[in-house]
Chains A and B, each alone.
Chain A
Amino acid sequence: MSVRLLPAVALALLALLAALLAGVAIGETPIALELVYQVLANQLWQAGYPLDPIDAGIVWNYRLPRTLVAAACGAGLATCGVILQALLRNALAEPYLLGLSAGASTGAVAVGLLGIGGAALSLSAGAFIGALFAFALVLLLARAAGPSHNNAQVILAGIAGSQLFNAITAFLITKSATAEQARGILFWLLGNLSGVRWPSVSLALPVALLGLAICLWHRRSLDAFTFGADSAASLGVPVRRTQLLLISCAALVTAVMVSIVGAIGFVGLVIPHALRLLLGPGHSRLLPASALGGALFLISADVLSRTLISGQVIPVGVVTALIGAPVFALILISRRGAR
């Protein structure tokens, strides 16, 4: 088993490394791969190459943390998409469409602008509470609106929830933010990796890995949901506990990512869906593949966002939405045949 997996794992790590290098090298100022290597060597094992401090600064302080956070964020959001799709048995379930991201934004803005919770609440904690709150609201609304497992209800409830929380966020910004703050927050809300530095890496990377590890640990339980919650229960899965744990996990990962880079949509939709077509529904393969796919996708989206219009950075959320929305439409259309 592990021997059979070895080439796949090696290939995956190689792809990730190549993407990270490309993410660091490509940009407004192109940087040669050799230079990237030298900066890394200087920082990691004091190789002592004589380098231009500006180039070194761009690589080490700006591009590398940004690319690493993009990778963590993409991996985390794709993992969340897989969990939500499995637990809700809904191909369209995704943190952004279900209002988790909007709720997390509201929570983060409330903490950041109003100082709710004082020093006790960090931006991420505020985002986590917001995400959980939004998700609970969306599920309640979906349940009130009709029988469970109805694809449309959950997504409609998610849209209603997103609108509500976006409105609250906008209200908070108009009420409490200065013009300068408002501009910054609005840019961040669209999904933005510009302000990312090393402290964000040390938050995003462990959270993404932890989320993936917890889900991988429960991969068989996720598989058992294939035929519904009752079927999972009769296969020995403690349904309530598993749902609570994994949905909290998704909310936490989403919240941390939103608090760092804002609401980036559709990663959790596009990547798991594409990989399900390729690999089938088994979570032991789907989860790691989605995490990797999400990382590659968001690194690429970030590179695109920096290079598409020269001299300007498009919010990365705009790029993912431009790719994700058509995919969403395609899934909707292909589902029609399956009904």
Chain B
Amino acid sequence: MSNLSDVQLAPLRCLDLGLRVRGHQLLEGIDLQVLAGETLGIVGPNGSGKSTLLKLLAGLRAPSSGAVQLFGEPLDSLPRRRVAQRLALVEQQADTHEAIRVYDAVALGRTPWLSALAPFAGQDRAIVEQALRDVDALHLQQRLWGELSGGERQRVHIARALAQRPQVLLLDEPTNHLDIQHQLSLLHCVQALPVTTLVALHDLNQALTCDRLAVLESGRLVALGAPLEVLTPARLLSTFGVHAHYLTDPYDGARVLRVRAP
């Protein structure tokens, strides 16, 4: 008999997850198990429920059916603080009018680890600096939020999530506002982190670099597996409504997806 404690609990899993808002079924019957250490990509057309799924998995919204488990514990029974110590979410459009400095914005990531009496200590400072370094934003630390470009803001958001030192990182289209160089370096950085990552992505070629992919269509999970097995031309036609085929890059043998309008 296998020792139960040896069996690694899934960092994040959901069972029959569904959300109904004002008569609209936004998500339905989602069964998903995120494996420890993997980078799981979520793809799907606009409005397929990627952001909603991430919100539910982060516990920001309560599902109307089903449940989410974080390391085997039901998410809705855990205090927010305990959740935030293990799981961080980077939303798509979090903005502020406050004249906050980049360093302080990233230092907010330490919130779940501090209390009213525990001061922000040297160890927290080191973690914040490391997080800034991870997203190549250390040089921005004294800048004000309002002075940053869209891409810089996105990197600061990610640094804040990293400063939470989470075991699970949820990212909602993190490369959206970035230039190509930062898109690639950020994805590379995220995939190199020793955390389990769930990332909603728009660019299908970027999605190919994930360990596994989940495909959402109208709030349902229609495919889950290795990228090349999931993003088949048939799937791309039925879910995304595009004709697609794979090319092989003669430079390194990588598979590249080429899409055309139908």
Contact = CB atoms under 8 A, between A and B. Distances in A.
Asked if A and B are interacting partners, one says yes
Interface of A: 1, 89, 91, 216-221, 223-224, 226-228, 230-231, 233-239, 276-277, 280-282, 335, 338
Interface string B108-119: 110110111001
A234 B75 CA distance: 13
Nearest to B115: A220
A49 B115 CA distance: 50
Contacts of B60: 230, 233-234
Given A234-B88, A234-B89, A281-B99, A227 B94 contact: yes
B42 interface: no
Contacts of B233: none
Given A233-B60, A235-B109, A236-B85, A227 B79 contact: no
B97 interface: yes
B80 A238 contact: yes
B131 to A, nearest CB: 14
Contacts of B83: 236
Contacts of A216: 116
Majority SS at the chain A contact face: helix
A34 to B, nearest CB: 43
Interface of B: 55, 58-60, 79-85, 87-89, 91, 94-101, 104-105, 108-109, 111-112, 114-116, 119, 146, 157, 164
Contacts of B114: 220
A41 B84 CA distance: 54
A91 B97 contact: yes
B104 A220 contact: no
Nearest to A223: B108
B96 A235 contact: no
A244 to B, nearest CB: 14
B101 A280 contact: yes
A280 B95 contact: no
Contact of B111 (A220, A228, A280, A335): A220
A155 to B, nearest CB: 14
Given A233-B60, A235-B109, A280-B101, A226 B96 contact: yes
A338 B116 contact: no
A218 B88 contact: no
5 contacts: A228-B94, A234-B58, A234-B84, A235-B112, A238-B80
A166 B82 CA distance: 45
B24 to A, nearest CB: 17
B160 to A, nearest CB: 8
Contact of B116 (A220, A236, A239, A281): A220
Nearest to A281: B98
A233 B80 contact: yes
Given A217-B116, A219-B116, A231-B94, A237 B80 contact: yes
Given A227-B105, A230-B60, A282-B104, 4 more contacts: A216-B116, A227-B95, A235-B164, A237-B111
A114 B60 CA distance: 45
Contacts of B112: 235-236
B105 A280 contact: no
Contacts of B116: 216-220
B79 A238 contact: yes
A62 B252 CA distance: 87
